[in-house]
Amino acid sequence: MKSSAQVVVIGGGVVGASVLYHLTKAGWTDVLLLERRELTAGSTWHAAGGMHTLNGDPNVARLQQYTIQLYEQIEKESGQDCSIHLPGGLMLASDETRMDFLRMAVARGRYLGMQLEMISANEARDLFPLLDPQYFVGALYDHVEGHVDPTGVTRAYVKCAQMAGAEVRQHTPVTALTQRSDGTWDVHIENGDPIHAEHVVNAGGLWAREVGRFVGIELPVLAMEHHYLLTENMPEVADYVAKTGHEMPMALDFAGEIYIRQEGGAMLLGTYEQDCRPWSPKETPWDFGSQLLKPDLDRIAPELAVAFKHYPAMGTIGIRRTVNGPFTFAPDGNPLVGPVRGLRGYWVACGVMAGLSQGGGVGLALATWMTSGDHGDLLTTPIHDRLTAANAVWGATFGLEHALWFQEAGKEPVEEVTFHRSNAWNCVAGEVAAVRERVGMTEISNYAKYRVTGEGSAGWLSSLLTARMPAPGRITLTAMLNDAGRIVGEFTVARPSDAAEFYLFGSLPAEVHHSRWFRHHLPSDGSIRFDVLGLGLTGLSVAGPRSRDVLSAVAPDLDLSTEAFPFMTFRRVDLGMTPVHLARINYAGDLGYELWVRPEYQRELFDQIMAAGAPHGLRLFGMRALMSLRLEKSYGTWFREYRPIYTPAEGGITRYLRLDHEFIGRAAHEAELAASGPSRRLVAMVVDPDPDMPADVIGDEPIWHDGSVVGWVTSGGYGHHVGKSIALGYVPAELATPDGPGGSGLEIEIIGRRRPARLQPEPLFDPQGLRMRQ
Ligand SMILES: Cc1cc2nc3c(=O)[nH]c(=O)nc-3n(C[C@H](O)[C@H](O)[C@H](O)COP(=O)(O)OP(=O)(O)OC[C@H]3O[C@@H](n4cnc5c(N)ncnc54)[C@H](O)[C@@H]3O)c2cc1C
């Protein structure tokens, strides 16, 4: 028995077992899984075993696809029966909005290689005769859906891992975790000596919060009750099997949040309860194990009523068994996977609400992260009430609220959600017009901000970033690459003076990831200091042809002429009484400025600019308008156009690379260029929206050429000033130039309809960039 291990995985549910398996696959075989009772003794043992590939997020869909494909492999490798059934599945839409969702899902599934098709309600009935087609508009049919035996799957993962050298200890509750001064862990167990580990993984499922509290953190995980029913055997099922020779497909019915599938000669029907109940909201009792919760059928009566209407035979058949069990959710329904800031060697793989659909992908993602070395609260800034008073419709980035757009006075600041053009359209158009014709102001506190100081910081930053560091008072745009030459970051770097002090501005959702990367590379002698500024620095952006006039009115003594304060200048100035780091740069691609201030000054500065801007027709604008403006300039954005699957040559940002210095990823970049160059490229396209159903891309739509899917959209929307629907996306390099085959025949599938798309090699607005330099 191991007294030490490279990794101790806490929890033998389907997720912990998958993590263990994937660690051994990645070559880490000195691994140990500790389970309090028997394997599966949390949520896993009573799961219905259903699995789907479809997910609103293509990356999660990919993980689900991977999970389902993995089952045959682990069954074969381990010899453990997983009871794999793949009868296919239907997603049933009872209204047009759901149909739009399904059409978009089909489109996104194309470049993931999913076998999805849209079918009519009658065709759905032919596949699944229990349904009454009058209640449905249509359906999506996914050929690769089904169910497995959760216990079989968990055991199969574990057996494969054991065959590779992993050890599994059941009936071994972990009671505490203590960290040694070298960052390694002592894992204290109830029945033996502590086990020494370099890494621990919290795969505690229902007890993930408790395993988090062992190290003083409170994980945002909550268990909810969940019911499913198993009917008596049904003659309709027997008839179907006799006639077709195979099992009925599964069905997912959005109207009642119902899933329904065959189980032997009977049907299993579950529902995501609308009248939902958290279970044990503060603590999960340690003596809870293989028991179920008391069913409460009254609570799910509305969903059952929908089920009995949509599937009439279900209303008359007897119920053999009712299962009510708890399983965990993180706030956005996605799994909580990765390292924990400030806790070296402590990893989480929990909050997995669909362990049989996602467990394989979660295990793969965490194991890859651990072995190859790769994220709530609702935060507001001081001008939140000012923007609310201006009728802001609020959105959030990584917990920080930001204004999406501003509703007309007197109307409710609510967006009517649709896949088409929403009620935001006219307001956003007005905000864009204000910026392009006069002047607008938006808040930009939702960027990540870092400060780097200390002798040698220019050299250190240059070793990580692809550009040379800016001269005093100047700004540089740069990328950050990994060893493989892929884009792991994109930053604006600014140097206010000749002191060794740099400000970096980047993506807020990537802040945790980026700060870990920077800290990991800090010199060990303490000569350089890296600070995450967070909401210690707030920002405003003032953009548009009259922006200089507005700022000059706030600070008449400040010379903002292009001669004195040219494009890409960054300086510490006083605007009125407010100390500001003023940058002559902006994401709208117009004459404009970014103003960075400590939060205690933000309201005052905001009020001054609003007052000075009134004679110039200044209008507040939100993120929607900013996105429209940046699309008109073909500016990419982190996580959409730029992310670690792309190289700078693919993303068209080689202008951010200066090969006059060494930096991480340079060799790989040069090798890519020396070989055949990038195989795909980021392009901008102008799309012809369907006049009968105007809608713009939102991202992840497939790009077609010559009858095949050749690429995907990364982001897009409507360019209100240029009056065009714009999409950015990746296509094969040979299709990326207008004088090549991609010059004609490109199409983008938007909500089920393929629309012609033309390559747009130059920005639609101000291609020479004269406006921002004027
Ligand atoms: C009624 C119901 C139906 C469901 N149907 C489906 C479905 O059809 N498809 C699907 O994908 N998902 C389904 N789910 C969800 C699924 O059950 C979960 O997503 C999955 O089981 C989560 O697995 P896990 O490993 O994260 O957690 P768990 O299964 O809770 O496993 C955690 C394990 O960690 C152990 N542990 C905790 N603390 C310690 C400690 N200190 N020391 C040692 N061991 C510890 C526990 O004993 C437990 O075995 C269903 C859930 C319910 C309730």
pLDDT at 272 over 80: yes
How large a percentage of the chain has pLDDT more than 70? 99
Q: How many residues belong to the chain?
A: 774
* Stronger pLDDT, 55 or 511, i.e. the higher one: 511
User: Is the distance from the beta carbon of residue 335 to the nearest atom of ligand 1 less than 6 Å?
Assistant: no
User: Residue 734 carries which DSSP code?
Assistant: G
Burial code of 561-594, b = ≥16 C-beta within 10 A, e = fewer? eeeebeebbbbebebbebebbbbbbbbbbbbbbb
pLDDT at 232 over 60: yes
Atom of ligand 1 nearest to the CA of 350: 26
Residue ranges of E strands in 533-676 = 538-543, 570-575, 578-583, 592-597, 619-620
- Under 8 Å between Cβ of 293 and 279: yes
User: Is the distance from the beta carbon of residue 47 to the nearest atom of ligand 1 less than 6 Å?
Assistant: yes
- pLDDT score, position 38: 96
Q: Mean pLDDT throughout 383-412?
A: 94
User: Is the distance from the beta carbon of residue 547 to the nearest atom of ligand 1 less than 6 Å?
Assistant: no
User: Residue 292 carries which DSSP code?
Assistant: -
Atom of ligand 1 nearest to the CA of 259: 8
Q: Which two tokens stand for residue 180?
A: 């040694």
- Under 8 Å between Cβ of 528 and 457: yes
What is the whole-number distance in angstroms between the Cα of residue 584 and the centre of ligand 1? Answer: 53
- The CA distance from 560 to 470, in Å, is 20
Q: Which of 169, 213, 327 to mutate for ligand 1's pocket (most ligand atoms within 8 Å of CB)?
A: 327
* 242-251 confidence digits (pLDDT tens): 999 999 999 9
What is the whole-number distance in angstroms between the Cα of residue 43 and the centre of ligand 1? Answer: 3
User: Is the distance from the beta carbon of residue 152 to the nearest atom of ligand 1 less than 6 Å?
Assistant: no
User: Is the distance from the beta carbon of residue 366 to the nearest atom of ligand 1 less than 6 Å?
Assistant: no
Atom of ligand 1 nearest to the CA of 43: 29
- Under 8 Å between Cβ of 347 and 200: yes
Q: Which two tokens stand for residue 687?
A: 């799309």
Q: What is the 3-state secondary structure (H, E, C) of 395-454?
A: EEECCEEEEEEECCCCCCCCCCCCCCCCCCHHHHHHHHHHHHHCCEEEECCCEEEEEEEC
CA dihedral 643, 649, 650, 651 (to 10 degrees): 50
**Cβ count near 529 (within 10 Å):** 13
Instruction: Confirm whether pTM is higher than 0.95.
Output: no
pLDDT classification of 378: cutoffs 50, 70, 90: low
* 688-725 confidence digits (pLDDT tens): 999 988 999 999 999 999 999 999 999 999 999 999 99
Residue nearest to ligand 1 atom 2, measured at CA? 47
* 75-93 confidence digits (pLDDT tens): 999 999 999 999 999 999 9
pLDDT at 108 over 90: no
* 586-614 confidence digits (pLDDT tens): 999 999 999 999 999 999 999 999 999 99
* 628-673 confidence digits (pLDDT tens): 999 999 999 999 999 999 999 999 999 999 999 999 999 999 999 9
User: Is the distance from the beta carbon of residue 462 to the nearest atom of ligand 1 less than 6 Å?
Assistant: no
Give the residue among 12, 304, 30 at the shortest CA–CA distance from 156. Answer: 12
pLDDT at 417 over 90: no
